[in-house]
Amino acid sequence: MSGPLLRNRWFVGSVGGTFLLLVFSVFVGFVWLPSAQDDSLFKGLLNSICSAAGVPRSWLGEASAPVTSPVKVSEVVMTPTTLDEPSSGGGVGRGATLALRCTMCHGLRGVSTSQTPTLAGQYASSLYKELRDFQSGARASAVMAPLVAELHDQDLRDLSAYYASLPRQQSPATQDLQSAPDIVATGAPMRNIPPCGSCHGRLTAKLGVPWLDPQPRDYLKTQLEAFAHGTRRNDTSAQMRNIARNMTTEEIDASVDYYSGTR
């Protein structure tokens, strides 16, 4: 039966040719190309051949450690219930005692008179997130880091509750939305900048977004520049970094003048 087929020159030629081509390409793909790689990852011919065939590295017992980021990012996940835990004997009163070490910079009742941020009446969720980020190093500050290093989670919650309970002193300038500069009122849609007010506004208190008025002008400006240069990177999903790096210097000045009430 095979006799007549093998005597057919066309059959032998085409099947034989295909077979030779297969052998040749297997040689090129699995032996020649892999062995031509002098990458340190491909140690030995067998290893190279397995890599070429797509065998996962862990099968070869060489699983490498997962890549860790050289920079710290925020580990805080804010949910509406993050601060709900009943505090055991803590709360505002305990926070007030702990806050005695904060007054020299943040003011007697949380209202700053220098260029440190005002804390009085800030949302507890924001205060808590920032304190956690200072502690983990996600928000770098040579001043704040040593002050929170030894504090327990309950301390941070009580401090946040205390400062959130103090009266906020809004500047009259930001009560008047008509006077808001364009970047605050409408953003810059062509550059992907939403209006600042859509997150920082008085009508929309978004979880983990601090209010900005009234904060000292220099403080706000430093923070915006830090976001723009990526030296502050504790904002979840890079929300503020993406905004700040698309802002012009004029827009940064206009927005900080507005929010600090220094116009």
Q: Using CB under 6 A as the criterion, which residues of the chain lie in contact with ligand HEC when the complex forms? A: 101-102, 104-106, 116-117, 119, 127, 129-131, 141, 143-144, 147, 159, 183, 193-194, 196, 198-200, 208-210, 212, 215, 220, 222-224, 234-236, 239-240, 243, 247, 255
- Tell me how far, at minimum, the Cβ of 263 lies from ligand HEC, in Å: 14
- Tell me how far, at minimum, the Cβ of 93 lies from ligand HEC, in Å: 15
Q: Residue 10 to residues 4, 13, 21, 220: CA-CA distances in angstroms?
A: 12, 5, 16, 82
Closest CB to ligand HEC among 50 and 244? 244
- Tell me how far, at minimum, the Cβ of 100 lies from ligand HEC, in Å: 8
Closest CB to ligand HEC among 175 and 192? 192
Closest CB to ligand HEC among 161 and 212? 212
One-letter identity of residue 232 = R
* Cβ neighbour number for residue 165 with a 10 Å cutoff: 16
Residues 6+ apart with CB under 8 A from 85: 157
Closest CB to ligand HEC among 51 and 134? 134
Closest CB to ligand HEC among 50 and 131? 131
- Tell me how far, at minimum, the Cβ of 101 lies from ligand HEC, in Å: 5
| The two three-digit tokens of residue 224, written as one number | 């915006």
Closest CB to ligand HEC among 67 and 142? 142
- Tell me how far, at minimum, the Cβ of 224 lies from ligand HEC, in Å: 5
Q: What b/e sequence results for 18-42 when a residue is b if at least 16 CB atoms lie within 10 Å of its CB, and e otherwise?
A: eeeeeeeeeeeebeeebeeeeeeeb
**Cα–chain-centroid distance for residue 98?**
29
Residues 6+ apart with CB under 8 A from 131: 148, 151, 156, 159, 160
- Tell me how far, at minimum, the Cβ of 112 lies from ligand HEC, in Å: 9
Give the torsion through C-alpha atoms of 165, 171, 174, 175, to 10 deg.
80
Asked if 159 and 131 count as a contact pair (C-beta separation under 8 A), the reply is yes
- How far apart CA 2 and CA 18 sit, in angstroms, is 19
